[in-house]
Structure 1
Amino acid sequence: MKKITLLFVLIFHYALMAQVTIGSSTVSNQNILKVQDGTRGVILPYSNTYTTFPKYDAASTDLFSDYPNLVGGLIYNKADDQYYKYDGFAWNPARQLQGVFQLKGSRLGISSGITIPCLAFGLGICLSLGAPVYLAPDDKSQVLVDNLLLKNASSVTIKQNGMYDIAAALGFTGGSVGAQIGITEFKLTLQVKYTPASAWETIVTKSNYSIIFIIDTQGSKTSSFSQTVSLPAGAELRVVPTITTVGGSGGSLSAYGTDTSSVNSYIGARLIKAY
């Protein structure tokens, strides 16, 4: 009788540990649950708005209470059409800085670009006429929102002391024609003016390169970066593009500009921690 009972317990334990398979007759010990169906889907937990997410706390800096047992949880937000993942501290949108309903974040597009003419004979000379202005109107269809209220009349200004994730991208348009063989460097620089009276200070730079072989055709010329930085209230942000051409021979004329598409050009900020 004891042997029969032990055998029954072992079989029952194996059944508990076996994979559950839905929509397929093929099982694998690599998964606990397998769902396979080419015509129907699985509906995961969802919410109409982030305020009904588990652990929502309006008094918390990041709007959610810490709860390690929920790490890796997923929930779909119907309001902005994306999934959110819980990391033990807060629910993070799948598109991160680009989340429309990320109340602690902003994503700004270009309202006016600049032109960058170049003249190259060996070492190229390019004139960056100012900096693009990231003050385009909010447009949720283009994932442009200003939940941190960064936009002033003519500048991007931090409103609250804190630690921020800053991400910026800038697309370049145009090209060059000439008899030069070499490379073109497209550099993006994030600068901060901490007070109205202070000078602009460089925080980070990022470069992308394009090969010149007689004609530098219009193509993918986009530079981007992400940087964590501590910023005081009142600090201003700007992104400065520069172009340098280095050729082995000959010369070329170039005319570049900044891409105003929000896919290629934007500045984003997310408040990590308020001071």
Structure 2
Amino acid sequence: MTQLITERSTDVIAAEINAIKFQTQSMMLQASSEIGKRLIEAKEQLQHGEWGKWLKDNVEYSQSTANNLMQIHTEYNSNPQAFGNLSYSKAIALLGIDAEERENFVQENNVEEMSTRELQKVIKEKQKLEKEIAKKEADALKEKKLLQQDIQDLKQQLEDAHQQSTDHEDSEKEINRLTQELAVAESKAKKLEESLKAKPIEAATVEVIPESVQKELDQLRSKKNESTDPAEIKFKMRFESLVNEFDLTLHALDGIGNSETKAKYTNAVHKLMDKMRATLEGGMS
């Protein structure tokens, strides 16, 4: 009697391979956690300086490998179901994500479908982004502190000017100048506070204020006690207000979720800037 051989489809074969792969990965991660648990137990019993030699003589692990295994147990043992299908190398890469963010990160980025190299790249970009955000926030807080100091100094100078005031025209000009500069500083401090409260600063807006404009602002601040020209004081007030509004406009633009709408308004900003530049160059020619 001839035995019939049923030919299996490539789809069935692929499904079986993937099932075995996932089972293997799950077992590997579980086994790594169990090894890590025992390494922690052994390390607690050893004296300082004995750890490296014990690893080499007994289990042939480097200290970096042992650290990874212990971290896998510490970080993943509390919720093994959420990470059971991850490979060992992906589990190691994900140690670069904060524990409270890790599960959401895995789901949102479909980590199971990524290669380890792709995952490492995404994590590296995330870490870079977080550093840029932290730096921008630190810069904004530093600017806020400087503004608060400026406001205190201006208030003191204004108080002194009132106490020493005479009927001379120069005294009146000095009081007016200090009053206007105080208004500018308080306005900028208020808008900076509003922008910080509105939403976290994102890396896409790291260069909100162009370097050349920031340099000009620093120069204006350093010379705040030199000018007595009412026209120059008025310009400085308007200039600071313009920069503040541009900053807030960019924050608002960055918050638009629809890409087409965002592109439309970005183009509108470019057209306005071109028009302003042409108007300014025409007025100076």
Q: TM-score, normalised by structure 1?
A: 0.23
Which protein has greater RCO, CA pairs closer than 8 Å, 6+ apart? 1
Which of the pair has more CA radius of gyration? 2
More strand by share: 1
Q: TM-score, normalised by structure 2?
A: 0.23
More helix by share: 2
